[in-house]
């Protein structure tokens, strides 16, 4: 499908046929479920051409390859009554509720999530980055994305600056100009 629905039931793996963002719901679900997750433009059309719609498939993602590997397999003779993930114990941390002072958002960091909640902690972290910057601001773009060595030229193009510019500084300026924390 072109877009994975928000309420997708648990599956063994995901293939997005369109580009996603690092914090898209499919990336978050795949990380939490510890399942394979890939973006392959044209995967939907390829599955239709290869007659894989509704079939059991094995797919592999190799970071050094230009595309994913899709291979039709036989359906298992028997399936377990309950998938292994259905018996997985989910444990949530107990929130800290004693002696938690009220503090300004600018004082919160990610490490304060247990005491103040994740939204407040993330907003505090974002406020800190807007005020002080971060050496990791362009980290997503610096990671090798085969067949490209990185995505820095695309970031430079988006920011409308030369590729040899100080991209971290330019990205921080862009973020400050376009982001406001209430």
What pLDDT was estimated at residue 2? 67
Higher pLDDT, 1 or 127: 127
Pairing verdict, β 37-39 and 14-16: parallel
In sequence order, what are the beta bridge partners of 16?
Answer: 39
If you average pLDDT over residues 8-19, what whole number do you get? 79
What pLDDT was estimated at residue 67? 81
- Burial of 15 from C-beta contacts in 10 A (0-12 / 13-18 / 19+): buried
If you average pLDDT over residues 119-147, what whole number do you get? 92
Annotated domain spans of the chain: 14-76, 105-178
Count the neighbouring beta carbons within 10 Å of the beta carbon of residue 175. Answer: 15
Q: What is the CA radius of gyration of the chain?
A: 21
Pairing verdict, β 57-60 and 69-72: antiparallel
- Output the pTM of the full model: 0.49
Rounded Cα distance, 140 and 151, in Å: 8
pLDDT digits over 48-98, tens only?
Answer: 888 888 888 888 887 787 888 888 999 888 876 766 666 666 666 777 777
Mean pLDDT of the chain, nearest integer? 84
What is the DSSP annotation of the chain?
--S--TTPPP-S-EEESS---TT-HHHHHHHHHT--EEE-TTHHHHHHHTT-TTS-EEEE--TTSSS-EEEE-PPPS---SS-GGGGPPP-PPPPP-SS-----GGG--GGGHHHH-HHHHHHHHHHHHHHH--TTTTHHHHS-BTTBS-SHHHHHHHHTS-TTS-HHHHHHHHHHHH----
What pLDDT was estimated at residue 176? 96
Winning range, highest mean pLDDT, from 3-7, 23-27, 118-122: 118-122
25 φ/ψ angles, rounded to the nearest 5 degrees: -60, -30
Rounded Cα distance, 160 and 56, in Å: 45
Higher pLDDT, 94 or 148: 148
**pLDDT at 23 > cutoff 70:** no
């Amino acid at each position: 499908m072109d877009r994975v629905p928000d309420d997708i039931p648990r599956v063994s793996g995901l293939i997005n046929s369109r580009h996603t963002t690092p914090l898209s719901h499919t990336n978050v679900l795949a990380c939490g479920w510890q399942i394979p997750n890939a973006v392959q433009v044209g995967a939907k059309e390829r599955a239709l051409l290869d007659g894989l719609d509704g079939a059991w498939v094995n797919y592999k993602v190799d970071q050094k390859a230009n595309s994913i590997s899709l291979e039709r397999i036989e359906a298992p003779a028997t399936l377990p009554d309950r998938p292994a993930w259905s018996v997985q114990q989910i444990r949530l941390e107990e929130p800290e509720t004693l002696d938690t002072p009220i503090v300004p958002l600018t004082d919160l960091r990610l490490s304060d999530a247990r005491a103040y909640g994740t939204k407040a902690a993330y907003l505090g972290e974002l406020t800190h980055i807007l005020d002080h910057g971060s050496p990791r601001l362009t980290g997503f773009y610096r990671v090798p994305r085969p067949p490209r060595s990185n995505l820095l030229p695309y970031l430079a193009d988006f920011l409308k600056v030369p590729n040899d510019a100080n991209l971290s500084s330019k990205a921080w300026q862009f973020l400050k100009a376009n982001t406001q924390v209430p």
